[in-house]
Chain A
Amino acid sequence: MAECKDIAEEASNILNGDLPFRKRIALHIHLFYCSCCRNYIQQLKQTIATISVFRPIEKDSTDMSALAKQLQELAKKQ
């Protein structure tokens, strides 16, 4: 039988729809009676949606226009 910890461990696979049938059923039965885990899954969904909107990126100090220019010159030489 699935418990709250199993939901926490498999939450991404639940959201990605990426679980074997038996496991999926066991986890969904738990979700049916556990409102905390339903809320947790909902929060994780909101986290994912928020990241997708926020779109954080790698810290980078590259001078993008200089790099573009350098590559353009390289392409012209070919």
Chain B
Amino acid sequence: MKKNTMPSRKNERRLIKQLIEGESQAFDFVVTEYHNIMLSVARAIVGEAFADEVVQDAWVSAIKALPKFEGRSSLKTWLLHIVSNGAKSRVRRENRHVSLDDGWESVPADKFDQAGHRYDDVYTWDNATPESLLANEQLQTIIENTFQNLPAIQRAVLSMYEMEGIKMDEICNILDISSSNARVLLHRARTTLHHSIEKYQDN
């Protein structure tokens, strides 16, 4: 789990100044806040094997380019574009095709009859709030494991959209995918997580 802190525009300018001046707290902050989502983007584009290296290189490029950062986007989006460009050129250099979203069934076929009606009734969940669902440690583990088992590109889309609040068109630019593709990936990730909670609730 990760806390959510989004610096305001003004705070971000101050943060960038602190980074340029080499203040240690600023480096701790940006690494803690952005390293994980950068890794997620790298894994989605280049795969697990090269992701760590791509993110390391992206950090170095970003620190070198920081004095020229114009603030046209947020620092986070800027960093994600740097990691995305690095990952894309790594893919080209390695001449490899990364397919990270195989083997997913759009909607489980056994839930519907031929006319598209549900076989089983769907009931409301008793523990309705996120807090009450998450009070159950077993369910927390199920959600965590399901998330980790999602294809890397689904994790990246889900994390950027749901957790980082990045807009869909920006996500498409970062991952170099079409809007319809991004929406499908988001839906797949949400649906898989829903299935895992549903399965637990039904037991």
A residues near B, CB below 8 A?
A: 3-6, 8-9, 11-13, 16, 18, 36-37, 39-40, 42-44, 46-60, 62, 64-65, 67-69, 71-72, 74-76, 78
The number of residue pairs between A and B whose CB atoms lie closer than 8 Å in the complex comes to 159
Give the Cβ gap from A40 to chain B, nearest Cβ, in Å: 5
Give the Cβ gap from A15 to chain B, nearest Cβ, in Å: 9
Give the Cβ gap from B181 to chain A, nearest Cβ, in Å: 13
B residues near A, CB below 8 A?
A: 1-4, 19-20, 22-24, 27-28, 30-32, 35-37, 39-40, 43, 52, 56, 59-60, 63-64, 66-67, 106-107, 111-112, 115-118, 121-125, 128-131, 133-134, 140, 143-144, 147-148, 155, 158-159, 162-163, 183, 186-187, 190-191, 193-194, 197-198
Q: How far is the CA of A37 from the CA of B175 in the complex (A)?
A: 32
Assess the A53–B162 pair: CB atoms within 8 A: no
Give the Cβ gap from A56 to chain B, nearest Cβ, in Å: 4
Q: How far is the CA of A12 from the CA of B24 in the complex (A)?
A: 41
Given contacts A43-B194, A59-B148, A78-B64, contact A5 B59 (CB under 8 A): no
